[in-house]
Structure 1
């Protein structure tokens, strides 16, 4: 069973329904002990980075997340959930993240860009990954975000997207993945990514 972390931020039901559409049962969980015993874990998120980190701390989820990842279980961060995997964010000052991946979260530069980056945009695949099985290069997905991840290790970037600059839209190492767009809102290819993640549970 895939476990979706409920920490008070994110469109949890939409993600759960997305998994259900591809035949991958998923439960929404608020108990960190149940997160630790999950077969695979999803960290969604919509909102402010600092609020999210505070909510995770108060819910007792931070250590549960670290133990899940240390145990080698499949883990997927979606949108803000991807950003939380990194060391810090410059949103409203500087806030420490989970530190699973080296790097930081940065705001799109002010100027001619419309921020937030909202709508469909393409992902250029840079590295093969089980998460991207059956996903064509330059496939389009649905984005809504004002900040993006800047990995310190280029090998973390599985795919990138251009919006004024080129940023990492899919990251991953081992069985830990992060995606900036919303797969549950990205038609059949977004659902294919959820299905690919679900397959990791059986490996």
Structure 2
């Protein structure tokens, strides 16, 4: 599990295709010294497994076809800067929001509004994912935990403070760029529980899971 608070920005230094697996080396990052083989690390929001620690500032991960199809890593190139976050330790302080590192979909930056030292960016997502994004809720964009400012149609906006602009790759996105989107995991579970095709087993009271009607009965 991750929090969406980026620890460092690294740089892709090598890409080697080995059949249906691509080995990517990421360098220029201090977190390599804190990793070991088998460690989980979020790379621009995608949870990947470390397969080798090359040096104190370089490590390698493997990318499978599913990851390439779902994330911007399909367009990975040497020199590309990526956001990095190590997995949250059990005893760690939880400061962001729950991020699994499992990217749901890709979004497209459709507008950017400068507001002095801050910036508001508008991102369009496939319509089926909008229901999981709510005003003042949380969303991870390229692995960065952000608060949703607005939702209109299939487009939502988030605000970027000076620290986020300076310390992550989000500060360099441009109109037309594609970004990794992970919706709030809690919203996805709730939507699944109240969906019409819910297959949950009956409870002692004979109820087959939650429904909108059942929630109204409970006072929600």
Name the TM-score, length of structure 2 as normaliser: 0.31
Which is helix-richer, 1 or 2?
Answer: 1
Which is strand-richer, 1 or 2?
Answer: 2
Name the TM-score, length of structure 1 as normaliser: 0.32
